[in-house]
Structure 1
Amino acid sequence: MEKARFWELEEKGIRCTLCPHYCLIPINKKGICRQRKNINNVLYTLNYGIVTSYAIDPIEKKPLYHFMPGTKIMSFGSSGCNFSCKFCQNHEISLDENPRSVFLSHERLVEITMNEGLDSIAFTYNEPTVWYEYMIDTAMLAKSYGLKTVCVTNGFINPKPLKELLKYMDAFNVDLKSFSDEYYRSICGGRLEPVMETIRTIHASNSHLEVTTLVVEGENDDIDDLEDLFKWLGSLDSEIVLHLSRYYPAYKMNNPPTKVETLLKAKKRAKKYLKHVYIGNVPGIS
């Protein structure tokens, strides 16, 4: 447990300002992410140093195709998320209250990475922005040793903490789950515009950016609706890398897997606006 950053004390509790939920947290209660708690009117992060998952992955699995291609990356995840996606594939660590975990100091995490002979660290699996303080401390140390840092995120973070994070993060993959605010609210428990603002901000920075859209059968798979998303990304920069990922049933969603034909059509439409479009979660097709 560590004292959190980005909060303000108000009459009825603590206002967390890390993400656009702006949770008002009374004493002894937690925010939506379940990882930030008001203890005697001081906000603490509960997952500092808590690691639920780690693995050595191909960097393309993040997915990042245009950043250090062909290399391996040490990937770490913790617990908690500020979304509640009905199709969450990592709900055991993102949304469950007490997942199995170990404690690793940020020094130890960097040491493990270097002992494996790897040049990069990814914060991934759950939503890393709710692991903010630990991620920042680890990334600062990692960069002092010349390691590259990657954040795989839903992009639901406020501008001030994002600006700080950008100082220490070399690359991002941001989920742009839909171009519908209603979809974000009803399926994911979030909102669209803050994610768009995060993408704009990262694109304008020195950090590498790639974007992933999980195409969900019967939910956000209308090609004309997807075209609005493609068009918007292309208006920012036709060089932005887009991954169209295939959905499979998970957590609370039992829709059938997305048709491969849908993904191929979506890729063709996306190529009108973007130069680099890939299909994910379909063996043998990219």
Structure 2
Amino acid sequence: MREALFYEKQEDNAVLCRLCPKGCLIKEGRTGFCRVRENRGGTLYALNYGQCSSCNADPVEKKPLYHFYPAHTILSLGTFGCNLRCGFCQNWEIAHGSPPTIPLTPEQVVAMAQAQGPRCVGVAYTYSEPVVWYEFVRDTARQVREAGLKNVLVTNGFIAEEPLRELLPYIDAMNIDVKSFRDDYYQHVCAGRLEPVLRTVEVAKDHCHVEVTNLIVTGLNDAAEEIGALVDWLAAVDPRIPLHFSRYFPNFEMERPPTPLEVLYAARETARKKLRYVYLGNVWDEEADTTYCPGCGAAVVRREGYKVRNVFLKDGKCGACGAPVDIVGSVWEAKR
């Protein structure tokens, strides 16, 4: 347990949490919406500091990050708690349950990442929502950076701007969920709001590598107009930001049928008119997982699922026409 950051003391020993846009007013002895920030005697504590519920060495592509050190691995850690409540949550056991955890220190995380060997690029804070693990993520990210490794956030992006800006100097890449381009969807399906998430993307893209994921849920956010609006907004932010449309499957509290494949392929075609890099997740289609040169259209990174199978890059440029391809870092297979 550690004293939390970003809160204000109020009357009658209450506290106002300022970490995320919910701004929970927390009475003594209670927790905020996320369940992991508790008021004890007028002091707000992070209950999940150093508590790890999930740990694995994953392909970077699984985050998903397709333009950040392709074919490398990354030590992936999660805790418990979340500041949203999405009806389709794929990790609800740790986001909204009480999973067993093991204690970790930032020093141990660094040592674990280093023990993975040279193919491991660093540490990803993922599985659960890293925003509500803020204090531990910040402390660990500082030491990871000092060790010469990379930090990745896989996040819902629902964070206040001040803590976001304080954390960004230590973050190398983010995958940010934009769950819908409608605020009413965020309110009714996710118990959140859209605007702060869009702001996170806009701020983060000037400080680190950013990719965006949109889970298309059958009958809820799959309208062509909404997908077009999302694409228009992202293209205005930066057309080089990779966009991953992900296929929904029933989970947690939602039993709608899986996203029809034709909806995903139509969304991809819409997005490719304005964005340089568009992918499909939970589909396992090599053509939809491949990175193409924005200049000549040549396949420069072919993938099979999360595995990189073929690379046609030379010094970060297309091997066919020499046009620059927006990929951060080297490709592991290319340098062996």
Q: Is TM-score (shorter-chain normalized) higher than 0.5? A: yes
Matched, 1:114 2:111: no
Amino acid of the residue matched to residue 272 of structure 1?
A: K
Shift of residue 169 of structure 1? 0.5
Supply the distance in 2 between the matched residues of 1:22 and 1:224 (Cα, whole angstroms).
Answer: 32
Structure 1 residue runs of 4 or more that deviate by more than 2 Å after TM superposition:
none
SS of the equivalent of 2:203 reads helix
The one-letter code matched in structure 2 to 1:23 is C
Offset from partner CA, 1:31-86 (integer Å, 9 cap, x none): 00000000000000000000000111110000000011110111000000000000
Q: Deviations for 1:93-122, whole angstroms, at most 9, x for unmatched residues? A: 0011x2111111111111111111122110
Give 1:10 deviation, angstroms. Answer: 1.0
Task: Name the CA distance, whole Å, in 2 between partners of 1:237 and 1:283.
Answer: 26
1:99 paired residue number: 99
Q: How far apart are residue 284 of structure 1 and its match?
A: 2.4
Q: Does 2:214 match 1:218?
A: no
Listed one character per residue, the Cα deviations across residues 131-183 of structure 1 (whole Å, up to 9, x for unaligned) are 00000111000111100000000000001100011011000000000000000
1:190 maps to 192
Gaps of 5+ in 1: none
Identify the match of residue 145 of structure 1 among 119, 144, 147: 147
Paired residue type of 2:128: N
Residues 203-242 of structure 1 mapped to structure 2, 5 A cutoff: 203-205=205-207, 207-242=208-243
Q: Which amino acid aligns with 1:46?
A: L
Which digits, 9 at most, give the CA deviation of each residue in 1:2-36, with x for residues without a partner?
A: 11100000115100000000000000000000000
| Aligned equivalents of 2:58, 2:122: Cα separation in 1 | 11
CA-CA distance at 1:271 after TM superposition: 1.1
Other-structure match for 1:269: 270
The CA deviation at 1:204 is: 2.3
The answer for the alignment partner of 1:65 in structure 2 is 66
Rounded Cα–Cα distance in structure 2 between residues aligned with 1:201 and 1:113: 28
Which residue identity lines up with residue 61 of structure 1 in the other structure? K
What's the CA shift for 1:228?
0.3
The aligned residue for residue 31 of structure 1 is 32
Whole-angstrom distance in 1 between the partners of 2:136 and 2:60: 22
SS in 1 for 2:181: coil
Counterpart of 1:48 in structure 2: which amino acid? Y
* Corresponding residue SS for 2:214: strand
Report how far residue 237 of structure 1 moved.
Answer: 1.0
- 1:202 equivalent among 191, 201, 204: 204
Match for residue 180 of structure 1?
182
Structure 1: distance between partners of 2:179 and 2:225: 15
Is 2:3 the counterpart of 1:6? Answer: no
Note if contact 2:69-2:121 (Cα within 8 Å) is conserved in structure 1: no
Aligned letter for 1:223? Answer: A
Matched residue, 1:21: 22
CA RMSD of aligned residues (A): 0.8
> What is the SS of the residue equivalent to 2:15?
strand
Q: Trace 1:235-254 onto structure 2 (pairs within 5 A).
A: 235-254=236-255
- Aligned AA (2:266): K
State the alpha-carbon separation in 2 of the partners of residues 274 and 185 from structure 1.
Answer: 28
| SS of 1:80 mapped into structure 2 | coil
Q: Residue type of the partner of 2:62?
A: K
The residue type paired with residue 158 of structure 2 is: F
The residue matched to 2:170 in structure 1 has which SS? coil
Q: What is the aligned partner in structure 1 of residue 76 from structure 2?
A: 75
Structure 1 letter corresponding to 2:278: V
Deviation at 1:283, TM superposition (A): 1.6
TM-score, length basis structure 2: 0.84
Code of the residue aligned with 1:179 in structure 2: it is F
Pick the structure with greater CA Rg.
2
2: CA distance, partners of 1:143 / 1:82: 26
Paired residues, number: 284
Instruction: Please report the TM-score for the alignment, with normalisation by the length of structure 1.
Output: 0.98
Gaps spanning 5+ residues in structure 2: where?
A: 289-336
